[in-house]
Amino acid sequence: MNSIISATGSYIPTEKITNNDFLNAEFYDENKVKLPNSNEIIVKKFEQITGIRERRYVSENLTNSEIATFAAQIAIEKSGIDVETLDYIILAQNFGNVTMNNVQCDMLPSIASRVKQNLKIKNPNCVAYDIIFGCPGWLQALIQADAFIKAGIAKRCLVIGSETLSRVVDKHDRDSMIYSDGAGACILEASAETKKGILSHASQSHTLNEALYLYYGTSFNPSISSNTNYIKMYGRKIYEFALTHVPNAMKIALDKSGIRITDLKKILIHQANEKMDEAIVQRFYELYDEPMPNKIMPMSIHKLGNSSVATVPTLLDLILNKNLPEHEINDGDVVLLASVGAGMNINALVYQF
């Protein structure tokens, strides 16, 4: 029994935040010292490195569970399924529901449980739960759903990645410009087709020395109370880690699939940093002594930023709906999906359409 994606959906928030919106910010470093460069220089260097020109934030009245529901509803409507036939709702997130101007996380009940309630699903045998796996969370949820289907204990799963990172950033940390909000979802179903669906995957957790490369910490602004924590990261360490380990995980997944690297049509990688993603994919091809093909790596980060667990499913949905110029996925195409993030966790998955 194979697992196939029968439909996708995504929710892209309506609030557009450009790099110019940060020109009046007060940025400090980790030692709580104000950065000496002008914001014009800071923002320009940021865009050159990350590729991010814009990002999306949710409007004040929305929460993570609500935008997750929006993405799920689109996938459900496109698939034509009866929601009462869902066996699992697996939702990847990291900070729960966070309301506007309140960075306290709310994970009780789980976001998946709230989505199930929002969808008005009555079936108690539809099990809803969250996973916290950093940015690779949606891919890990997809891997879990695939395992349930291959084990014969599920026939249909709703897999969601949803996050509102704009609610947990320190606006005095220049890294805050990376983060954004969004939600992506898919329906994964059992299928007798042998040449379609999830072919292989690989997952890793590097925790001995790397677990705290992304962490919760106080504001860099010395005048702000130390009682409140925000998302923080050691960007250089993450960059070096990703270039060292992600290509190897991608190779493990591809080798397990039996697919030749020259037969890959697209690589959908977590939208974290354009230069980092390009370097990861370049090193992946170097492992096979192959040149990196043109247009192999679609990017949405330029306008959508880094929405954590939502980047890969949103990117997939954009391409399948022909909303990403110069990129398409057709029947028979083999795609490699990969992600890296807090933990430090890595995963990769090979899928044939």
Q: What is the mean pLDDT of residues 190-203?
A: 92
Tokens 């083999």 belong to which residue?
334
pLDDT of residue 296: 97
Instruction: Please calculate the CA angle 211-201-338 and round it to the nearest 5 degrees.
Output: 60
What DSSP string describes 300-349?
-HHHH-B-GGGHHHHHHHHHHTT-STT----TT-EEEEEEEETTTEEEEE
pLDDT band at residue 205 using 50, 70 and 90 as cut-offs: very high
CB atoms within 10 A of CB 123: 13
pLDDT digits (tens, 9 = 90+) for 225-278: 778 889 999 999 999 999 999 999 999 999 999 999 999 999 999 999 999 999
Alpha-carbon span 346 to 201, nearest angstrom: 11
pLDDT digits (tens, 9 = 90+) for 327-340: 999 999 999 999 99
| Residues whose CB is less than 8 angstroms from the CB of residue 139 and which lie 6 or more positions away in sequence, other chains included | 201, 312, 337, 338, 339, 347, 348, 349
**266 with 327: CB under 8 angstroms?**
yes
Rounded to the nearest 10 degrees, what angle do helices 64-79 and 111-118 cross at? 50
pLDDT band at residue 1 using 50, 70 and 90 as cut-offs: confident
- Read off the tokens for 31: 């030692």
Mean pLDDT of the chain: 95
- Read off the tokens for 93: 């997130």
Alpha-carbon span 89 to 120, nearest angstrom: 13
Instruction: Please calculate the CA angle 92-140-100 and round it to the nearest 5 degrees.
Output: 20
pLDDT band at residue 182 using 50, 70 and 90 as cut-offs: very high
pLDDT digits (tens, 9 = 90+) for 146-171: 999 999 999 999 999 999 999 999 99
Domains of the chain: 2-193 (3.40.47.10), 198-352 (3.40.47.10)
Q: What is the mean pLDDT of residues 97-103?
A: 81
pLDDT of residue 260: 97
